[in-house]
Structure 1
């Protein structure tokens, strides 16, 4: 599936011989222009403090599923359905693989990753992962 909005995680469907076929990117901006639509992307997990932003053809990319099982055991913030936020340790991930959807929140990034966490009082809470700087 070709990316349709900012925040999607993508990779090249046919990487060049000298490119890492597993390299993942986040879509920063889509510039619609018919068959020549372009997209600004930034590489993930490069180890660079400021990875470069590249502009490529939209048709060269595909949206990929992200493995969320690595979140188990980490301390995170979630947004609950009652609009409250809770911090706790991840004890369950609803889906092991997901087409990650990111959007800018007021003080962080909202996701579509559903988690169950255990707060410091031992109470379970369910909600979506909220990433803060």
Structure 2
């Protein structure tokens, strides 16, 4: 199951991505928002992030105007590795190397055609399970010095 969420800046792109997921027969849960009316992106980032860490969904897709704010907010939730991707290479690399579980996109940055290709790459690329990448993910998840 894929969790998907957005703010007002990502609403239109979210609808395009949902149509793509429907066309592939992929199950998803929409955590909002439901229009282009102004909303606060951290609310939707947290909903998607918690759906993943709570085990309701395996991966997530988050969209705001740039993808920056919503990815920062999602990454505040322990266990989330959200990656802002603007091309397919980044989507592939973050899955293979970082085992990213949330894809962030900018609805005002990436057009729908490219966004669909990025989503496809993100969803279809497995984690490499390489020892060095596992070690690095463990380091990412450790509290920073002094915490």
TM-score band (shorter)? under 0.3
- Higher relative CO (CA 8 A, sep ≥ 6), structure 1 or 2? 2
Name the structure with the higher helix share. Answer: 2
> Could you tell me the TM-score, scaled by structure 2's length?
0.25
Name the structure with the higher strand share. Answer: 1
> Could you tell me the TM-score, scaled by structure 1's length?
0.26
Larger C-alpha radius of gyration, 1 or 2?
A: 1
